[in-house]
């Protein structure tokens, strides 16, 4: 369990957020440079917040009011760096052993524990290799083994897959998912990749410019982002400003269309979001709501997906993105959007 | 050929590099650990001065401090009975003063280029600051320290101006190789000067190529291929 409430002045914006991470994995999703890494560093004790409190499992790591600021060595918070930060002058085994230096065990007990971790992280045969000579995946496993060796109660993962190619990435994500289940304490994973967060984290916090925009169950958050920034970061392609036209009706200013909603429009809603996959072709004459006549602008085909960008033919406005299975790669005359799929968003 | 300049130079260069190495590395570490960038820049400037000023200016300052009638020099003479100026010790003093900035700058650069994430990683793993210094920072900086040490050694060996001012040019006592070359040339003794020149060129060449080779070996040892 990790509780943080911190603020720090940064160059371009102020970091000012509060969050809790229970056992399991909390994802922090945010664009590059929104203060995600800085947040992790503050928790690990590598940078000092201007004000606030940080607690891990009830023990105070930092409290500006009471003048408490534990050094990173005493926090028992593991940190997986983006590039893993393995010591280049030490072998795999020595790197893992570096995590055991704090425990003051004698050499043979340390050796034994290193051996155990080498097995657990499937690094057999690489004990005497230097980090530069092993693959990215093996480097990551070594870095994780080292953190496990240090008896961390909480592990922070800073964009753990950004240095990998896409093939290796998926494999490592599977492995990390298994490790998260095995690890008892809490983990925080920072990423700008929504797929990563969705796959690995039970709870998600969306961060924008140093602030906690919204926090909740990952699945709920992706289904109902509620906030504009959350919709954007969870990958919603189509977002427009709206005007409320009725209890169940809105006018989307950017696309110049009137849309029916499935739920009552709250007065606080300022934008509407439509996921590109929720736009479906409408057959002629079929009685479906939210029909839009298509004025195609551009189309892109990727291996397993077909993307069409179109405008509203009656009153052309901003482009609307539609994505579907490649097998349906035909430009429809009209499209429809299920009213219950409209995401009503607050700024 | 009088061999005393060779022996004096060897002795001076060897003793002075020990002082220079530890002083330069230690000072570089202190400046590296400073938190405020402005203080770093100020100290950097001050500590680099002996490198850019003429050696005679350094000699002037050394005389000013260690001269027999000056506070420090008088203190040493009175309490330890040691006369610093115009003794063999003064050749070491001059060599250290002049070669120090080379060592300092190399060490500082070597520390700066060690990835700070590595040290932060050590901290989160619970390694003490001393363990981080010994197992992470020093191994990461060793190549730069070594090449700095070799450069400083070569510079100390070739020191002339400051040595002439604080240690003088006393044959058999403070006359180092560069001073012997100067003296022989002044006396029109070109042949003897040429032999000293040959010795100097040889030693310097061996030392500098040795540095190149050491760098090559270290790079092979620590090259990062997967980054």
Residue B5 has which token pair? 């300049």
The answer, yes or no, to whether residue B218 has pLDDT greater than 80, is no
With residue A245 as reference, give the H or E element that holds it: strand A238-246
Question: Helix (H, G, I), strand (E, B), or coil: what is residue B67?
Answer: coil
State mean pLDDT over B57-77: 86
- Band of pLDDT at residue A288, cut at 50, 70 and 90: confident
**Interface membership of A52 toward B (CB under 8 Å):** no
State mean pLDDT over B201-222: 82
Q: What are the chain B neighbours of A48 within 8 Å (beta carbons)?
A: none
**Interface membership of A75 toward B (CB under 8 Å):** yes
Q: Is B135 in Cβ contact with A134 (below 8 Å)?
A: no
Residue B140 has which token pair? 């990461």
User: Best-predicted range by mean pLDDT among A281-290, B72-81, B164-173?
Assistant: B164-173
* A228 within some domain: no
With residue B40 as reference, give the H or E element that holds it: helix B37-52
Regarding whether A240 and A187 lie in a shared domain, the answer is no
Is-contact B179 B169, C-beta < 8 A? Answer: yes
The answer, yes or no, to whether residue B40 has pLDDT greater than 60, is yes
The answer, yes or no, to whether residue A301 has pLDDT greater than 90, is no
* A163 within some domain: yes
Regarding whether A158 and A186 lie in a shared domain, the answer is yes
Regarding whether A189 and A137 lie in a shared domain, the answer is yes
Regarding whether A11 and A118 lie in a shared domain, the answer is yes
Regarding whether A157 and A82 lie in a shared domain, the answer is yes
| pLDDT for res A177 | 84
Q: Closest residue of B to A144, CA-based?
A: B125
Q: What is the CA radius of gyration of chain A?
A: 24
End-to-end CA distance of chain A: 30
State mean pLDDT over B195-213: 90
With residue A211 as reference, give the H or E element that holds it: strand A211-217
Is-contact A322 A279, C-beta < 8 A? Answer: yes
- Band of pLDDT at residue A175, cut at 50, 70 and 90: confident
* B123 within some domain: yes
Contacts of A125 (CB under 8 A, 6+ apart): none
- Band of pLDDT at residue B225, cut at 50, 70 and 90: very low
Regarding whether A203 and A173 lie in a shared domain, the answer is yes
The answer, yes or no, to whether residue A332 has pLDDT greater than 90, is no
| pLDDT for res B187 | 93
Residue B3 has which token pair? 């061999």
* Residue A95 Cα, gap to closest chain B Cα (Å): 10
The answer, yes or no, to whether residue B66 has pLDDT greater than 60, is yes
Give the domain range for residue B35.
4-222
**Interface membership of A71 toward B (CB under 8 Å):** yes
Which of residues A176, A199, A223 is at a domain's end? A223
* B227 within some domain: no
Regarding whether A288 and A155 lie in a shared domain, the answer is no
| pLDDT for res B186 | 94
Regarding whether A125 and A90 lie in a shared domain, the answer is yes
State mean pLDDT over A162-188: 83
State mean pLDDT over B184-191: 94
Sign of CA dihedral A186, A190, A195, A196: negative
The answer, yes or no, to whether residue A17 has pLDDT greater than 80, is yes
- The C-alpha atoms of residue A200 and residue A170 are separated, in whole angstroms, by 11
Task: State pLDDT tens for residues A178-227.
Answer: 887 888 889 999 998 888 899 899 999 999 988 888 999 999 999 889 89
* A230 within some domain: no
Q: CATH number, domain at A98?
A: 3.40.50.300
Task: State pLDDT tens for residues A42-76.
Answer: 999 999 999 999 999 989 999 999 999 999 999 99
Question: Helix (H, G, I), strand (E, B), or coil: what is residue B188?
Answer: coil
- The C-alpha atoms of residue A56 and residue B92 are separated, in whole angstroms, by 56
Calculate the dihedral angle through the C-alpha atoms of B160, B166, B171, B173, rounding to the nearest 10 degrees.
Answer: -110
Regarding whether A337 and A312 lie in a shared domain, the answer is yes
| More reliable by pLDDT, A303 or A329 | A303
Regarding whether A291 and A207 lie in a shared domain, the answer is no
- Band of pLDDT at residue A168, cut at 50, 70 and 90: confident
Residue A37 backbone zone (phi > 0: left; psi -120 to 50: alpha; other: beta)? alpha
Regarding whether A122 and A17 lie in a shared domain, the answer is yes
- Band of pLDDT at residue B223, cut at 50, 70 and 90: low
- Band of pLDDT at residue B221, cut at 50, 70 and 90: low
- The C-alpha atoms of residue B55 and residue B162 are separated, in whole angstroms, by 5
* A231 within some domain: no
Q: CATH number, domain at B137?
A: 1.10.3720.10
Strand order in the sheet with A68-69: A14-21, A2-9, A51-56, A59-63, A68-69
Q: Which residues pair with A189 in a beta bridge?
A: A27, A157
The B-side interface with A (CB below 8 A) comprises 115, 117-118, 120-128, 131, 135-136, 139-140, 222-227
Contacts of A187 (CB under 8 A, 6+ apart): A21, A24, A25, A26, A154, A155, A156, A157, A180
* Residue A80 Cα, gap to closest chain B Cα (Å): 8
Q: Is A150 in Cβ contact with B226 (below 8 Å)?
A: no
The answer, yes or no, to whether residue B222 has pLDDT greater than 70, is no
Give the domain range for residue A310.
236-345
Summary mean pLDDT of chain A:
90
Residue A304 has which token pair? 């397993």
DSSP A294-320: EEEEEEEEETTEEEEEEEESSS--S-E
* A82 within some domain: yes
pTM: 0.81
* Residue B115 Cα, gap to closest chain A Cα (Å): 8
The domain tally of chain A equals: 2
Q: Is A150 in Cβ contact with B126 (below 8 Å)?
A: yes
- Which among B115, B128, B224 has the least Cβ separation from residue A85? B115
| pLDDT for res B227 | 37
- The C-alpha atoms of residue B38 and residue B167 are separated, in whole angstroms, by 36
State mean pLDDT over A241-250: 91
The domain tally of chain B equals: 1
Strand order in the sheet with A291-302: A279-281, A334-337, A291-302, A305-312, A320-325
């Amino acid at each position: 369990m990790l509780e943080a409430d911190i603020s720090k002045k940064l160059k371009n914006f102020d970091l000012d957020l509060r969050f809790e991470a229970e056992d399991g994995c909390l994802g922090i999703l945010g664009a590059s440079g929104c203060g995600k890494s800085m947040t992790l560093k503050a928790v690990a004790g590598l940078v000092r917040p201007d004000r606030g409190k940080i607690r891990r499992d009830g023990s105070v790591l930092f409290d500006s009011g009471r003048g408490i600021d534990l050094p990173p060595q005493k926090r028992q918070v593991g940190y997986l760096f983006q590039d893993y930060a393995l010591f280049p002058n030490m072998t795999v085994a020595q790197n893992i052993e570096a995590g055991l230096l704090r425990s003051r065990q004698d050499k043979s007990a340390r050796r034994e524990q290193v051996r155990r971790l080498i097995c657990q992280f499937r690094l057999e045969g690489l004990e005497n290799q230097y980090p530069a000579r092993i693959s990215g995946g093996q480097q990551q496993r070594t870095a994780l083994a080292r953190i496990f060796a240090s008896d961390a109660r909480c592990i922070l993962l800073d964009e753990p897959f950004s240095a990998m190619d896409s093939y290796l990435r998926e494999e490592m994500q599977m492995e990390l998912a298994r490790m998260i289940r095995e690890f008892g304490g809490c983990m925080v994973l920072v990423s700008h990749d929504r797929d990563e967060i969705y796959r690995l984290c039970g709870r998600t916090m969306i961060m924008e410019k140093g602030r906690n925009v919204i926090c909740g169950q990952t699945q709920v958050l992706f289904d109902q982002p509620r906030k504009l920034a959350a919709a954007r970061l969870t990958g919603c392609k189509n977002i427009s400003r709206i005007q409320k036209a009725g209890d169940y009706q809105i006018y989307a200013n950017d696309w110049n269309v009137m849309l029916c909603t499935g739920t009552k429009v709250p007065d606080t809603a300022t934008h509407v979001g439509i996921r590109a996959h929720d736009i479906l072709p409408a057959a002629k004459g079929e009685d479906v709501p939210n029909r839009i006549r298509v004025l195609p602008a551009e189309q892109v085909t990727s291996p397993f997906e077909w993307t069409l960008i179109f405008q509203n033919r009656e009153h052309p406005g901003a482009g609307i993105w539609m994505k579907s299975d490649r097998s349906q790669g035909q430009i429809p005359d009209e499209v429809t959007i299920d009213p219950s799929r409209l995401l009503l968003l607050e700024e | 050929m009088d061999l005393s300049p060779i022996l004096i130079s060897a002795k001076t260069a060897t003793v002075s590099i020990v002082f220079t190495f530890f002083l330069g590395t230690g000072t570089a570490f202190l400046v590296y650990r400073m938190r405020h960038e402005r203080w770093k820049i100020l100290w950097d400037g001050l500590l680099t001065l002996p490198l850019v000023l003429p050696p005679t200016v350094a000699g002037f300052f050394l005389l000013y401090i260690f001269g027999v009638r000056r506070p420090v020099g008088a203190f040493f003479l009175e309490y330890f009975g040691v006369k610093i100026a115009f003794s063999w010790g003064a050749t070491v003093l001059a060599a250290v003063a002049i070669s120090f900035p080379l060592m300092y700058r190399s060490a500082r650069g070597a520390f700066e280029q060690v990835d700070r994430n590595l040290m932060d990683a050590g901290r989160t793993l619970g390694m003490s600051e001393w363990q981080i210094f010994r197992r992470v920072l020093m191994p990461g900086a060793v190549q730069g320290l070594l090449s700095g040490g070799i450069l400083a050694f070569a510079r100390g060996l070739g020191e002339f101006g400051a040595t002439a001012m604080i240690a003088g040019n006393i044959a058999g006592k403070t006359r180092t190789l560069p001073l012997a070359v100067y003296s022989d040339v002044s006396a029109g003794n070109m042949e003897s000067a040429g032999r000293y020149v040959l010795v100097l060129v040889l030693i310097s060449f061996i030392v500098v190529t040795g540095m190149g080779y050491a760098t090559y070996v270290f790079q092979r040892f620590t090259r990062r291929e997967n980054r």
